[in-house]
Amino acid sequence: MFDTLLSMSALPLLFTSYNSWGTSLNLLFFYITWSTLLLSHPPIKVELIGTALIRVLFYWLPTVLFLFFDVAIPSLSRSIKLQGVRGLGQGRGGAKALHRLKVVAWSLVNMILGIAVQGAIEYLFTEILGRKSALRIARVLPMPGELLWGVLRGVLLREVSQYYIHRFLLHDDGYLARAHKSWQHSISAPWSAVAHYDHPVAYVLGRVLPCYLPAVIFRFHLLTWFLFVAVVSVEEVTTFSGYSAVYSMLGGATRRTDLHFETDGEGNFAPWGLLDWIHGTTVGNDIKDDVEEELELQEERRERRRSRLRGKKRD
């Protein structure tokens, strides 16, 4: 089954032109593989194992690579960390290694818990309530527009739900806020594994539900869900990395996440900063500043390309 799921790396083919024979044959092969997978395995098994595989490929693999980089070349790593040497972790020697191991272990446990919650919701829908599955598990492939529109809606709703849950439940005065503070906010400089390091209840509310809720509300096609999880995973591993050498809009999200930890949760409650900007809870640059910086960078790149082209013409 894993071999079949890995073949879903052909998903980008859905974004290519339908005019070429090669693309048509690849799409046909993908459709046959996808149909065979759904016919030969229970849908819930495909959903949960596929979700886990996406997480491994797009979250855990880069997280481990970033951690290896931090451990193997600390002098270079701290030079590109937003908080410098603090970004390399807490403690020294063996204590630092144990702390990193604890964070990674709990992050893995939490992620397994999140997938289990996803499975429990599907079981509730299909077996107890006798309804359709929470996600649309169908052999018909979604069109590229459906994929992109689904991911866009998912990102926007996740931003909204994560902001309000994070701000009003995890940074209030109740038990959950104290648990969140003593777990995730015991770390003042984030690194990628910290994205899923939290008290299990706070984790389910603050990270699992904002991700899974849009998929249930819009009843994503399973392939749309996989693409959405891949996008979320890349965002998490990047924005929690603590690296200053991150470009484009994700660089602003990385700086905001880092400042959220550095200020012990004074603001920046959602990664993209849209709701923080609207409610005035931004710490540091807001999303408007990031857009302006990105536009300026694009203009500089275009100007450099024009200069190179003018130089070649003169030569």
Residue 4 has pLDDT above 60, yes or no: no
* pLDDT number for residue 258: 94
Residue type present at position 149? W
DSSP 79-118: HTBTTGGGGG-SSSHHHHHHHHHHHHHHHHHHHHHHHHHH
Q: Given the structure tokens 């509300």, which residue do they identify?
A: 217
Residue 94 has pLDDT above 90, yes or no: no
Q: CA angle 65-105-151, nearest 5°?
A: 65
Closest by Cα among 95, 87, 118 to 258: 87
Residue type present at position 177? A
Residue 294 has pLDDT above 60, yes or no: yes
* pLDDT number for residue 3: 58
Residue 184 has pLDDT above 90, yes or no: yes
Residue 170 has pLDDT above 90, yes or no: yes
Q: Is 221 helix (H, G, I), strand (E, B) or coil?
A: strand
Q: Answer with the residue of higher pLDDT: 57 or 304.
A: 57
Q: Answer with the residue of higher pLDDT: 305 or 168.
A: 168
Q: Answer with the residue of higher pLDDT: 143 or 111.
A: 111
Question: pLDDT for 235-289, tens place per residue?
Answer: 999 999 999 877 555 668 899 999 999 999 999 999 888 899 999 999 987 677 7
Question: pLDDT for 203-231, tens place per residue?
Answer: 999 999 999 999 999 999 999 999 999 99
Q: Are 233 and 54 spatial neighbours (Cβ–Cβ below 8 Å)?
A: yes
Task: Give domain limits for the chain.
Answer: 42-290
* pLDDT number for residue 15: 45
β-pair partners for 243 = 81
Question: pLDDT for 77-88, tens place per residue?
Answer: 999 998 988 888
117-131, 262-276, 293-307: least confidently modelled range:
293-307
Quote the pTM value: 0.87
Burial class (CB in 10 A: 0-12, 13-18, 19+), 276: buried
* pLDDT number for residue 288: 72
Question: pLDDT for 6-49, tens place per residue?
Answer: 544 444 444 444 455 556 666 777 778 888 888 888 999 999 99
